[in-house]
């Protein structure tokens, strides 16, 4: 139904970047990544510098298994704006999940935390990188803050469970899971 409404709006104003971005976001939520990519690309044809659309494009590239392209897009965003907390977080977290360049990952995400200290997703990224580096106590501190900010995210809960399990807190880990 939402797609139908957006399509009607696009029919009446095919030059509105936001309409293509919204349609892409809806398709992304439906896991229709190829179609979402098409919408983001159409939006970027209208406004090539739109950072929100470019960030969405990077996310959907990642979700569709095109990680190298996603990282390349985020690196471009970061080169244009070194204070882009979302790009810093995306690159840092993605590299860490690939097991690559943990030192750079930590540096990027620490900067993102400085820029957005109350963002639960960024706090979770920091925790996960610290956990991978064997810094479980520090990771746990970040995860507790993250879970307070984003109470219902399953990935953050899983990360909390993994850290608690590593600390031999089986009941806490079970509760987190």
Q: Residue 11's pLDDT is what?
A: 67
Low-confidence stretches of the chain (pLDDT < 50) are none
Give this prediction's pTM: 0.85
Cα angle for residues 82, 76, 57 (degrees, 5° grid): 115
Q: Is the dihedral of CA 81, 70, 57, 125 positive or negative?
A: negative
pLDDT for the residue 6:
72
Q: What is the C-alpha separation between 156 and 147, in angstroms, rounded?
A: 7
CA 159 to CA 33: how far, in whole Å? 26
């Amino acid at each position: 139904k939402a797609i139908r409404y957006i399509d009607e709006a696009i029919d009446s104003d095919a030059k509105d970047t936001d309409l293509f971005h919204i349609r892409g976001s809806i398709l992304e939520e439906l896991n229709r990544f190829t179609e979402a990519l098409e919408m983001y690309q159409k939006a970027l044809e209208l406004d090539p510098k739109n950072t929100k659309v470019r960030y969405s494009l990077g996310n959907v590239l990642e979700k569709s298994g095109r990680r190298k392209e996603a990282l390349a897009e985020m690196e471009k965003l970061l080169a244009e704006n070194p204070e882009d907390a979302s790009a810093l977080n995306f690159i840092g977290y993605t590299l860490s999940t690939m097991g690559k360049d943990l030192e750079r990952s930590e540096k990027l995400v620490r900067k993102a935390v400085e820029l957005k200290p109350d963002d639960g997703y960024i706090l979770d990224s920091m925790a996960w990188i610290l956990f991978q580096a064997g810094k479980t106590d520090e990771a746990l501190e970040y995860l507790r803050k993250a879970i307070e900010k984003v109470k219902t995210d399953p990935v953050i809960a899983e990360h909390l469970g993994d850290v608690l399990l590593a600390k031999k807190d089986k009941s806490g880990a079970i509760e987190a899971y």
